[in-house]
């Protein structure tokens, strides 16, 4: 990789868990791989009491936990890591601007800056306005703003936040981050589709019968119940992660592999998704059950969950894309907590041949449908299921997998945050969400959030409410029922 431009990476929320677990190790990993330590300078910003030395120790410990030790860690922390404490209740960032300019002067930097908001969403608006008022939205070099998810709570709040950002920053400066897009296998959806004519030529309503997307979590709320009870499954997983998968699996080929070309096609897909009807949605909330042989409590038993809460921890839905490529092809989505295991998979189910010449008992067709299964986590890879004749007689067809496994082919997949942070440093917005994309996504789900639909109970350790298959019209259940 080419060395990135020298810059100052400013993290708001510098002493938080995201910074410790993901951001600091990712920045350091990029720095070690491009071999230009002087280009990577870190300024932590927080309201917590602290000093340069204390934040350097925090950074050192974060890197040690991530498996990094040695003289390079010590040298980088000592010479390239700084801390600035903002005053509680302050309405401006003038002191931060002065500190940034002083650090840049001392290090001989040209004024390239990244502002990363590793903050609770409620703080986004205030910090963005303060950056603008302090004159930090522009600088001597380039300036980039990274905003974590969730971006808004519904369509109105997302639109308001976009307006607030655009009052100070141009869209080309803004990087709305969704770590799912940094996963190597998610990016490879584009390569799989558009670099392989074998698949792209069949990726349409003439050949595809249905698409299934499963994002399953075996954990519960795990200390996040206070947040989750106000968010629910649509805001937590569907509006962001799953919608990105839908757009990537169904978008048209871009004219070039460039940020705006790819994001234009993703927006076109979102604009083509038909309004979601209540009868095409099944919500669920997990009850007590068994996970990996251990009894786990119900969602409602968490002390942070409001009494009588109807918050959904599971949703299954049927979507349709009203365009030339996908008209009539259902997209089935399911995601939830306390499911049997953690997995993210996409199944593209192809139609049967128009005439069956292989018959089994009771003259039923004995062939199986071809399926492409894309596994995003764990055990990342691709699998194609196809029919072969079993040896002997009578003639019997069996479905067999042809698979590709990333762990077998490559030594290491980069961490999603490492990929995205490098893209921010290089100014590549391909894997980041544009303003019209996030608003189109919220426009799709906000009406659904306003419907008062019940959350049906399901035992922890199962695949959701029993009514899902019948309600959504899955005649033979999910292809991925055995994942």
Enumerate the active-site residues: 241
Look at residues 56, 63, 74 and name the one whose alpha carbon lies nearest to residue 30: 63
Query: Which residues lie closer than 8 Å to 218 by C-beta, 6 or more apart?
Result: 291, 292, 338, 339, 340, 341, 342
Q: Which two tokens stand for residue 452?
A: 């008062």
Q: Which residues in 111-236 belong to E strands, given as ranges? A: 113-117, 143-147, 174-176, 208-216
CA 260, distance to chain mean position in Å, is 19
How many Å apart are CA 235 and CA 154, to the nearest integer? 8
How many Å apart are CA 2 and CA 33, to the nearest integer? 9
Query: Which residues lie closer than 8 Å to 101 by C-beta, 6 or more apart?
Result: none
Q: CA 239, 343, 257, 405: dihedral to nearest 10 degrees? A: 180
Provide the residue count of the chain.
483
Q: Which two tokens stand for residue 442?
A: 């919220």
**What DSSP designation does 220 have?**
-
Q: Which two tokens stand for residue 384?
A: 């194609």
Q: Which residues in 218-339 belong to E strands, given as ranges? A: 281-287, 289-291, 294-296, 314-320, 330-336
How many Å apart are CA 251 and CA 263, to the nearest integer? 10
How many Å apart are CA 313 and CA 197, to the nearest integer? 39
């Amino acid at each position: 990789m080419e060395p990135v431009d020298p810059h100052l990476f400013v993290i708001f929320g510098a002493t938080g868990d995201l910074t410790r677990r993901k951001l600091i190790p990712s920045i350091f990993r990029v720095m070690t791989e491009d071999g230009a330590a002087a280009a990577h300078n870190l300024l932590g910003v927080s309201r917590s009491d602290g000093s340069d030395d204390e934040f350097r120790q925090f950074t050192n410990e974060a890197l040690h936990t991530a498996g990094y030790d040695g003289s390079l860690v010590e040298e980088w922390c000592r010479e390239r890591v700084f801390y600035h404490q903002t005053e509680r209740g302050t309405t401006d960032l003038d002191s931060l601007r002065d500190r940034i300019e002083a650090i840049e002067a001392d290090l001989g930097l040209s004024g390239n800056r990244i502002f990363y908001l590793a903050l609770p969403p409620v703080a986004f608006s205030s910090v963005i306005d303060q950056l603008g008022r302090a004159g930090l939205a522009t600088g001597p070099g380039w300036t980039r703003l990274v905003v974590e998810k969730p971006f808004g709570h519904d369509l109105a709040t997302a639109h308001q936040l976009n307006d607030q950002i655009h009052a100070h920053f141009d869209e080309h400066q803004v990087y709305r981050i969704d770590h799912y897009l940094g996963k190597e296998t998610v990016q490879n959806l584009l390569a799989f589709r558009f670099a392989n004519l074998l698949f792209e030529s069949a990726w349409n309503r003439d050949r595809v019968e249905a698409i299934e997307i499963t994002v399953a979590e075996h954990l519960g709320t795990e200390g996040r119940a206070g947040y989750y009870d106000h968010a629910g499954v649509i805001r937590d997983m569907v509006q962001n992660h799953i919608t990105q998968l839908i757009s990537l699996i169904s978008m048209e080929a871009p004219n070039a592999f460039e940020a705006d070309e790819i994001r234009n096609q993703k927006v076109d897909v979102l604009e083509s998704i038909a309004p979601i009807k209540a009868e095409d949605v099944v919500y669920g909330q997990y009850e007590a059950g068994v996970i990996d042989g251990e009894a786990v409590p119900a969602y409602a038993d968490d002390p942070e969950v409001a009494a009588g809460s109807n918050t959904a921890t599971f949703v299954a839905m049927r979507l349709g894309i009203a365009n030339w490529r996908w008209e009539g092809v259902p997209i089935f989505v399911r995601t939830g907590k306390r499911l049997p295991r953690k997995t993210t998979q996409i199944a593209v189910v192809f139609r049967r041949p128009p005439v069956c010449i292989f018959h089994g008992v009771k003259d039923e067709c004995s062939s199986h449908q071809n399926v492409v299964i894309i596994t995003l986590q764990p055990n990342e890879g691709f699998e194609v299921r196809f029919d072969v004749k079993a040896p002997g007689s009578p003639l019997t067809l069996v479905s067999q997998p042809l698979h590709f496994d990333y762990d077998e082919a490559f030594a290491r997949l980069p961490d999603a945050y490492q990929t995205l942070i490098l893209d921010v440093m290089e100014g590549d917005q391909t894997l980041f969400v544009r303003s019209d994309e996030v608003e189109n996504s919220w426009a799709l789900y906000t009406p659904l959030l306003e419907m008062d639909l019940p959350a049906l109970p399901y035992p922890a350790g199962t695949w959701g409410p029993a009514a899902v298959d019948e309600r959504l019209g899955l005649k033979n259940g999910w292809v991925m029922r055995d994942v």
